[in-house]
């Protein structure tokens, strides 16, 4: 068999080159947002034992809630659970406007989701893992956080709220 | 096997290019809209 | 030129796949609208209580039957048809293929029983530590292994053909089908390992816990290429059949079509982590690398768009099509098989756009697990794939049964009704997602749904209702066709668009299997090896099961 060359129509060749450039541009825009603007996806934070994470007194999730670590800077430890009922602990968090809140969320039972509406905080919550992302609340108002992964019969009622006060 | 017709050689897919240009414009518009929502909401680190 | 006739035994065998597929679609589609109606505030689940316990059980039935059973059975039937018809020879060992088929049927039944008994309300992603009845996992395993066995039967048939046709190019429809079957063999290893090493022993009580993060990684190893397993059979039809049906067009580029199939084989598995961008236990480096390769797999789809549209345009111009866009009107829209597939293709443009947004690494933060996602995959698997398969069935079922398509006009109406219903449904789902509505939630009851969403939620229900009507028309058309007393005059012609350039003039490396298979495996090792090795090394089987539905 002789080595045949691939025949590509000139229009199609140009389309392929253009597609390639277009995809490179999209990829670059994504990279700029990730590495230039710090809009990042969650990274492995910590492994925990889901069977004890909510009860072990040394675990921050045995006493979930907001901790102020510096003026205007907070850590929020949140437990997402399906047992005994579908809820986030705590259900409500209040912070002043302009606060930078870093969320640490885990589950003692099944998989959950955690999405704070109108923010970039939107991630999976897995038993055994800690999910971490930070948000600056620039505007006052109520931001619901909602469970976005099926976690059983009460999935649809599982939510909480962040109250951003003046 | 496939016979090469003269009209096949003359065929230029200009309509295809038109359809794809419309597609690409829509693609960029929708993608950029969602990208701007992301950027507007700010950093997560 | 008379066409090769698929032997009667093979026709029956392929037909039994299509029958199971359509039955699954019928039951599954019954539950689709119920989810949509719930969103609009019309909750039928209250009345179904004795039979179906919850929205989520209905959603599980819908997802498993439509996304997994309908697709897999139709695909295995269609691939078998393409291999037999394309290579012009019967299956090497039809008994082997039948064994595979019956394993799949038994698997579906084994999984269906616990699902209907509300013992496996875990949705079609079955993420642990939600723990289903062991029969659910056994059933899924049988479906996967059965599809492997059928694939082996196809490869053996090809092997015999190759021995007798050493220097021939593999006919395109057979080539595409074999690549699809091979892709499936490789990618299903993920879910096989997930079930056999974790979920099944755990549901049987042999191990106490699972590692949910590792389970998700195994799942998405299979879960993304699954999308291409669905899509490639539709691409085969779009490339090599539709241009002929739509106006006697020729396949614009046989070489690039083959190249795009190889690229799908190589690129569709080592990108699965793009479904896990917001998982806590996967390092961002791997997420980013997988996102870059996901942009890569978009490339062969762009090539497909060009070649397919150019092939259609070629036919339309010969038939007197004029203008930059006017030629589209010259396509054979009155043929229901053509109308279905063209409409499927149009909506696939938007499916592709949404898919690219989902796949764009951090852009996923805006979209992850919102209603945007089901909005997206109802354009892809539920339209580009499903409506194309419906279109294929409009000639394939008459071909297999020798009975005339009942009322082609109604079949055409069906396609348009689907198109309209899906635009309304899917558009409102996308918008709701961008507004912050989560997926997999009975939004009609959720306490956090603001009043401003009600217009969109109504559209979800309206779209669902229209789709339901379309599904009913399809079932009636299929039933009436299968029982039609009117026989086809001679034989139904299998649509075959001849390539514009003789495939034998294309490069030989487009018909060599080994380099592409090694390439695919090497890329999987590179892209998944380190991350999976680390996850397995630090595996913690600490999650006991929960039955909380």
As a whole-number percent, the residues of chain C with pLDDT over 70 amount to 100
Q: Extract the runs of DSSP E, i.e. beta strands, from A1-130.
A: 65-70, 73-81, 87-89, 92-96, 100-106, 112-116, 122-125
pLDDT band at B8 (very low <50, low <70, confident <90, very high): confident
- How far apart, in whole angstroms, are the C-alpha atoms of residue C53 and residue C73? 28
Give mean pLDDT, residues B12-33: 97
- A72 with A96: CB under 8 angstroms? yes
Predicted-complex ipTM score: 0.96
Among C131, C280, C356, pick the best mutation site for testing chain A contact (most A Cβ within 10 A).
C280
Classify the phi-psi angles of C369: left when phi > 0, otherwise alpha if psi is within -120 to 50, otherwise beta. Answer: left
Q: Is a pLDDT exceeding 90 seen at residue C361?
A: yes
Q: What is the pLDDT of residue B1?
A: 42
Q: Is C224 a catalytic residue?
A: yes
The predicted-structure confidence for C375-412, as pLDDT tens digits, reads as follows 999 999 999 999 999 999 999 999 999 999 999 999 99
- C456 with C372: CB under 8 angstroms? no
Chain B partners of A15 at a C-beta cutoff of 8 Å? 17, 20
| C357/B34 touch (CB, cutoff 8 Å), yes or no | yes
Domain A60-165 has CATH 2.160.10.10: no
DSSP letter string over C119-163? Answer: S--STTT--TTB---HHHHHHHHHHHHHHHHHHHHHHHHHHHHHH
In eight-state DSSP terms, residue C381 is I
- C24 with C73: CB under 8 angstroms? yes
Q: Is C440 a catalytic residue?
A: yes
Give mean pLDDT, residues C15-40: 96
Q: What is the pLDDT of residue B5?
A: 63
Nearest-neighbour CA in chain C from A72: distance (Å): 24
Give mean pLDDT, residues C140-167: 97
Instruction: Tell me whether residue B6 is exposed, middle or buried, using C-beta atoms within 10 angstroms of its C-beta: 0 to 12, 13 to 18, 19 or more.
Output: exposed
Q: Is a pLDDT exceeding 70 seen at residue C329?
A: yes
Nearest CA in chain C to A130: C280
- How far apart, in whole angstroms, are the C-alpha atoms of residue C529 and residue C532? 5
The set of residues, in sequence order, having a beta carbon less than 8 Å from that of C481 and lying 6+ positions away, is: C397, C398, C401, C403, C404, C405, C406
The predicted-structure confidence for C68-111, as pLDDT tens digits, reads as follows 999 999 999 999 999 999 999 999 999 999 999 999 999 999 99
- The residue ranges of chain A whose pLDDT is under 50 are 1-2
pLDDT band at B2 (very low <50, low <70, confident <90, very high): very low
Tell me the HSE value of C260 on the side-chain side, using a 13 A CA sphere. 24
Nearest-neighbour CA in chain A from B20: distance (Å): 9
Mean residue pLDDT of chain C comes to 96
C-alpha distances out from residue C428 to C76, C316, C371, C452, C543, Å = 33, 34, 9, 13, 37
Chain B partners of A11 at a C-beta cutoff of 8 Å? 12-14, 16-17
Determine the number of helices (DSSP H) and then strands (DSSP E) in chain C: 20, 0
Give mean pLDDT, residues C335-353: 98
Q: What is the pLDDT of residue C161?
A: 97
Q: What is the pLDDT of residue B10?
A: 81
- C174 with C146: CB under 8 angstroms? no
Three-state DSSP class for residue C43: coil
Q: What is the pLDDT of residue A5?
A: 74
- How far apart, in whole angstroms, are the C-alpha atoms of residue B38 and residue C365? 7
| Six token digits for residue C189 | 């290893």
Question: What is the residue extent of each domain of chain A?
Answer: 1-40, 60-165
pLDDT band at C225 (very low <50, low <70, confident <90, very high): very high
Nearest CA in chain C to B37: C366
Subunits with 3+ Cβ pairs within 8 Å of B are: A, C
Of C377, C399, C425, C528, catalytic: C377
Q: What are phi and psi of B14, to 5 degrees?
A: -70, -35
| A138/B42 touch (CB, cutoff 8 Å), yes or no | yes
Q: Is a pLDDT exceeding 60 seen at residue C529?
A: yes
Q: Which helix (H) or strand (E) holds C268?
A: none
pLDDT band at C2 (very low <50, low <70, confident <90, very high): confident
Would you give the end-to-end CA distance of chain B in angstroms? 61
Q: What is the pLDDT of residue C16?
A: 98
Helix C134-164 vs helix C71-87: crossing angle, to nearest 10: 10
> Residue C164 CB: number of other CB atoms within 10 A?
9
Report the CATH number of the C8-441+448-537 domain.
1.20.210.10
Tell me the β-bridge partners of C207: none
Q: Is a pLDDT exceeding 70 seen at residue C523?
A: yes
Residue that has been written with the tokens 């098989």 in this structure: C337
pLDDT band at B4 (very low <50, low <70, confident <90, very high): low
């Amino acid at each position: 068999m002789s080595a045949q060359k691939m025949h590509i129509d000139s229009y199609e060749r140009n389309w392929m080159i253009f597609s390639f450039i277009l995809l490179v541009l999209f990829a670059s825009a994504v990279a700029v947002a990730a590495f230039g603007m710090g809009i990042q996806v969650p990274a492995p934070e910590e492994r925990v034992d889901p069977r004890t994470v909510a009860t072990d007194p040394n675990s921050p999730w045995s006493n979930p809630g907001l901790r102020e670590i510096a003026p205007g800077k907070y850590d929020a430890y949140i437990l997402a659970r399906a047992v005994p009922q579908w809820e986030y602990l705590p259900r409500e968090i209040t912070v002043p406007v302009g606060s930078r809140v870093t969320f640490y969320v885990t589950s003692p039972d099944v998989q959950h989701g955690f999405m704070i509406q109108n923010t970039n905080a939107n991630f999976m919550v897995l038993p055994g893992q800690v999910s971490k992302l930070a948000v600056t609340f620039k505007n006052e108002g109520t931001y619901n956080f909602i469970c976005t992964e099926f976690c059983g019969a009460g999935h649809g009622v599982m939510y909480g709220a962040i109250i951003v006060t003046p | 096997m496939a016979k090469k017709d003269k009209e096949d050689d003359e065929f230029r897919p200009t309509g295809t290019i038109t359809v794809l240009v419309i597609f690409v414009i829509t693609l960029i518009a929708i993608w950029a809209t969602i990208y701007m929502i992301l950027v507007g909401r700010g950093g997560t680190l | 030129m008379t066409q090769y006739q698929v032997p009667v035994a093979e026709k029956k065998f392929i037909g039994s796949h299509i029958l199971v597929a359509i039955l699954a679609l019928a039951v599954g589609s019954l539950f689709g609208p119920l989810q949509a109606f719930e969103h609009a505030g019309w909750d039928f689940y209250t009345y179904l209580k004795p039979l179906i316990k919850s929205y989520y059980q209905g959603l599980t039935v819908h997802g498993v039957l439509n996304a997994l059973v309908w697709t897999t059975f139709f695909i295995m039937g269609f691939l078998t048809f393409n291999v037999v018809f394309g290579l012009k020879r019967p299956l090497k060992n039809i008994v082997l293929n039948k064994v595979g088929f019956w394993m799949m049927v038994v698997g579906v039944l084994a999984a269906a029983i616990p699902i209907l008994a509300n013992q496996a309300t875990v949705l079609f992603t079955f993420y642990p530590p939600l723990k289903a009845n062991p029969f659910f996992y056994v059933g899924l395993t049988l479906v996967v292994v059965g599809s492997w066995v059928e694939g082996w039967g196809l490869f053996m048939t090809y092997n015999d053909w190759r021995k007798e046709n050493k220097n021939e190019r593999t006919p395109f429809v057979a080539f595409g089908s074999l690549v699809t079957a091979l892709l499936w063999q490789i990618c299903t290893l993920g879910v096989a390992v997930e079930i056999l090493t974790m979920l099944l022993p755990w549901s049987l009580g042999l191990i106490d816990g699972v590692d949910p993060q590792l389970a998700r990684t195994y799942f998405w190893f299979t879960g993304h290429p699954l999308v291409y397993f669905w899509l490639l059979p539709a691409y085969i039809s779009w490339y090599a059949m539709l241009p002929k049906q739509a106006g006697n067009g020729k396949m614009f580029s046989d070489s690039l079509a083959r190249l795009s199939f190889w690229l799908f084989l190589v690129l569709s598995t080592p990108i699965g982590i793009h479904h896990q961008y917001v998982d806590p236990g996967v390092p961002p480096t791997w997420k980013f690398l997988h996102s870059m390769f996901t942009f890569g797999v978009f490339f062969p789809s762009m090539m497909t768009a060009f070649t397919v549209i150019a092939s259609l345009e070629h036919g339309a111009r010969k038939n007197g099509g004029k203008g930059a866009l006017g030629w589209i009107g010259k396509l054979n829209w009155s043929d229901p098989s053509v109308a279905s597939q063209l409409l499927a293709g149009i909506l696939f443009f938007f499916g592709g756009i949404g898919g690219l947004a989902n796949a764009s690494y951090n852009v996923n933060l805006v979209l992850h697990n919102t209603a945007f996602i089901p909005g997206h995959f109802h354009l892809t698997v539920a339209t580009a794939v499903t409506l194309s398969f419906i279109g294929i069935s409009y000639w394939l079922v008459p071909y297999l049964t020798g009975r005339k398509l009942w009322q082609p006009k109604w079949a055409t109406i069906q396609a348009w009704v689907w198109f309209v219903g899906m635009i309304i449904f899917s558009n409102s789902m996308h918008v709701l997602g961008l507004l912050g509505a989560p997926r997999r939630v009975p939004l009609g009851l959720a306490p956090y749904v603001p009043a401003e969403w009600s217009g969109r939620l109504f559209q979800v229900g309206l779209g669902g209702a229209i789709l339901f009507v379309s599904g009913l028309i399809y079932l009636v058309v299929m039933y009436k066709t299968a029982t039609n007393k009117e026989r086809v005059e001679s034989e139904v012609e299998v649509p075959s668009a001849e390539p514009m350039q003789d495939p034998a003039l294309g490069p030989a490396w487009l018909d060599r299997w080994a380099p592409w298979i090694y390439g695919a495996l090497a890329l999987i090792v590179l892209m998944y090896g380190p991350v999976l090795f680390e996850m397995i090394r630090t595996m913690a089987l600490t999650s006991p099961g929960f039955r909380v539905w």
